[in-house]
Amino acid sequence: MQIQPDVRTIEGEIFKALVNAGAVSKDNADDPVKVGLQRAARTDAGVHAAGNVVSIKMITAVPGVPDLLSRINDELPPEIRVWDYVRVQNSFNARTSCDSRKYTYFFPTYLLIPPKPGSGLHRTLKQSSSTSGDDHPFWKDVAPDSTREEDMQRKKKWRVGPEQLGLLRNAARKYGGTHNFHNFTVGREPKDRSCQRHMWSIEISDPVVYGDTEWLSVLLHGQSFMLHQRKMISALVLSIRTGTPSSLIDELYQLRTVMIPKMPSLGLLLEHPIFSSYNARMQEVNVNVELTDLDYRPAIDFDIHAEKIKAFKEEYIYSRMRSSEERVQVFDRWICSLDRYAGPDLLYLNPQGTVPDAAVVKKGKKRTNAFREWKKFDATDFVSADGTTNPLAEEDADEIEEEVAEGISKKDLEEAEG
């Protein structure tokens, strides 16, 4: 989302469109800081957004431009839309004036199938006497040397049962309220007060089949979200597929640091930020003000654009998400990368729901056989420069990233959150 040097970003495209449409003067066209550009939520690289709010000092009456909104959208690529613009109070800041945000995470239900017998994670689970997956009906009569592609064809036909769905919903309820989410982000110390975040609600949909694959969606409504907080979904998925009790979530709020893998960016969608407090104040301000008065301040309301947003999501988000999964099997490659791991970092997946000392990440101490994330799972576009599908080759060592966000300043972390 946020403007960065030499990187194509949503804010960069919007600022350029505002300049070309005449909504930002040529004198201010060289630096968005001059017009106070701020955003309500800065999405991670690769994360979708259906609604966001940008605050900026802009020209709303441009000579020769009768419909400024249409003119701005004409300057934008079709996958970026401005739904509306409204006049706000001078003190308004899109990030600090925002009360809460809503995100949805989508994933195929086959991620809940236990690790394949014989895989690295399967062997680790057997050592801890956890549910190893040997007796899971999905793996019955499957050859140990079956290929990922062969397994994938069977996974598409798998459907989650009511018992497992109930366990998932029960575990998700553990996120409700105010907790220390230090294990669900990077670059924060366990005692950092900024890790205390409030989740208003977490709702898990009924499963829906698209094509051959069954999908679930998780709607998270929180006061604010930390960088890489999609780890919340990862903890749910990993605990359910390994038979780990929901009490693990409570353990993850404690001051011990553990490594929780990030879910792929592909499944995450910022629905929209919410400005309830600001809208309530403006309702009082507008009591004796006419709609046409320059002092009138409209509410920031995404609901009035619901139909357009719904159509946009289907064309540019949901369809791309499903087609990417169909072509590249992003989620399956991600879960297989976890199942290949046989080190100690995931030993908190056990029948007691406890965190053993071997799984604790100790600051300044090198971990033996530490789990490493793949940068490629932070992408949503899997087409190479020559137009062919990127196969997400597992052996590409240059694509490995470190889990710890070394050198990120507190200010940069705050800017990265939303």
Average pLDDT, the chain: 88
Confidence of residue 311 (pLDDT cuts 50, 70, 90): very high
How many domains does the chain divide into? Answer: 2
Band the pLDDT of 412: cuts 50, 70, 90. low
Residue 400: is its pLDDT beyond 90? Answer: no
90 and 133 in a single domain? The answer is no
**From CA 346, how far away is CA 360, in angstroms rounded?**
9
Whether 337 and 197 share a structural domain? yes
- Tell me, yes or no, whether 211 lies in a domain: yes
Measure the CA–CA gap between 103 and 202, rounded to whole angstroms. 10
Half-sphere exposure of 225 (CA within 13 A, CB side): 29
Whether residue 61 is contained in a domain is answered as: yes
Is a pLDDT exceeding 70 seen at residue 83?
Answer: yes
Which ranges of 37-146 does DSSP label H, i.e. alpha helix? 68-74, 120-127
Same domain? For 337 and 387 the reply is yes
Same domain, 2 and 92: yes
- Show the domain range for 341: 102-270+309-416
Tell how strand 208-210 and strand 213-222 pair up.
Answer: antiparallel
Q: Is residue 290 part of a domain?
A: no
Verify whether residue 44 is a known catalytic residue. Answer: yes
103 has binding-site annotation: yes
Strands 268-274, 48-49: pairing kind: parallel
Residue 379 has pLDDT above 90, yes or no: no
Q: Which residues of 255-271 are buried (b: 16+ CB within 10 A; e: fewer)?
A: ebbbbbbbbbbbbbbbb
Per-residue confidence band for 392, with pLDDT thresholds at 50, 70 and 90: low
Q: In this structure, are 89 and 123 located in the same domain?
A: no
pLDDT of residue 405: 45
Instruction: Taking residues 196-202, report their average pLDDT.
Output: 95
- Asked if residue 283 is part of any domain, the answer here is no
On whether residue 143 sits in a domain, the answer given is: yes
Q: Are residues 356 and 399 in the same domain?
A: yes
Cβ contacts of residue 314 below 8 Å, gap of 6+? none
Which one is catalytic: 44, 151, 332, 345?
44
* pLDDT above 60 (res 406): no
Position 287 in a domain: no
* CATH code of 61's domain: 3.30.70.580
Of 78, 97, 116, the domain-final residue: 97
- Name the band, by pLDDT with cuts 50, 70 and 90, for residue 2: confident
User: Which 8-state DSSP code applies to residue 88?
Assistant: -
Q: List, for residues 283-299, the tens digit of each pLDDT value.
A: 999 999 999 898 999 99
Q: Is residue 298, in this structure, part of any structural domain at all? A: no
Do 383 and 314 fall within a single domain? Answer: yes
Contact 107, 215 (CB under 8 A): yes
pLDDT score at 304 = 95
Distance of CA 217 to the CA centre of its chain: 12
| Whether residue 23 sits in one domain with residue 126 | no
User: Do 109 and 53 sit in the same domain of this protein?
Assistant: no
Same domain, 139 and 50: no
- Mean pLDDT across 389-414: 49
Q: CATH no. for residue 252?
A: 3.30.70.660
Are 142 and 170 within one domain? yes
Quick one: pLDDT at residue 187? 83
Q: Is residue 41 part of a domain?
A: yes
Last residue of a domain, one of 97, 120, 153: 97
pLDDT exceeding 70 applies to what percent of the chain?
A: 89
Domain boundary, last residue among 97, 124, 158? 97
- Do residues 119 and 78 both lie within one domain? no
pTM: 0.88
Tell which wins on pLDDT, 25 or 388.
25
Q: What is the pLDDT of residue 154?
A: 95
